[in-house]
């Protein structure tokens, strides 16, 4: 790689990224079809997640992202070309999935293009605003009384014995 010019290195990087995105979309499409046909069951796995982690040896996070995105892509097919050309990334689609409807998907996906994870979180907060928390009113503890022998005025207290002499 050291022998490559800077321009050639950058060209190869972009070409590799483009190929990686194509492969990722192919993988998502295949996972969606295996999931739809429940082909994990004849392999002795009770779920697509277990199939992905135990047979395909994906990490739990990789399996979760790809299964979530594959299921979303079956309902919202416009996700796949957006993943393929890099307008969206897996984590953004996974985070937006439960907020996509046939009515809002075009607008929401357009707003998610080339957004960072933090920006996607802000978009999700707009899509799913949470009400302000209820006001919290609590009773403060009663102030503690300051007690000292001089201020206490305790009727049971005896004054010190001044009649006794030391040593007796």
pLDDT of residue 63: 98
Please state the domain extents for the chain.
6-127
Residue 96: its H or E element: helix 90-96
pLDDT tens string 73-110 = 999 999 999 999 999 999 999 999 999 999 999 999 99
Distance CA 77, CA 72 (A): 8
What percentage of the chain has pLDDT greater than the value 70? 87
Average model confidence (pLDDT) for the chain?
90
> Minimal CA–CA distance to 64: which of 137, 56, 15, 154?
56
């Amino acid at each position: 790689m050291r022998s490559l010019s800077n321009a050639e290195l950058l060209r190869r990087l972009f070409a590799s990224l483009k190929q990686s995105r194509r492969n990722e979309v192919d993988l998502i499409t295949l996972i969606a079809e295996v999931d739809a046909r429940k082909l994990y069951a004849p392999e002795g796995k009770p779920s697509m997640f277990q199939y992905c982690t135990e047979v395909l040896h994906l990490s739990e996070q990789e399996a979760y992202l790809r299964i979530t995105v594959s299921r979303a892509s079956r309902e919202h097919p416009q996700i796949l070309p957006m993943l393929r050309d890099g307008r969206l990334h897996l984590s953004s689609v996974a985070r937006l999935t439960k907020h996509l409807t046939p009515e809002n998907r075009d607008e929401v996906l357009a707003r998610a293009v080339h957004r960072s994870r933090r920006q996607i979180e802000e978009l999700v907060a707009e899509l799913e605003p949470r009400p302000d928390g209820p006001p919290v009113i609590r009773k403060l503890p009663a102030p503690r009384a300051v007690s000292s022998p001089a201020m206490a005025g305790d009727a049971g207290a005896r004054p010190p014995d001044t009649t006794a002499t030391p040593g007796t």
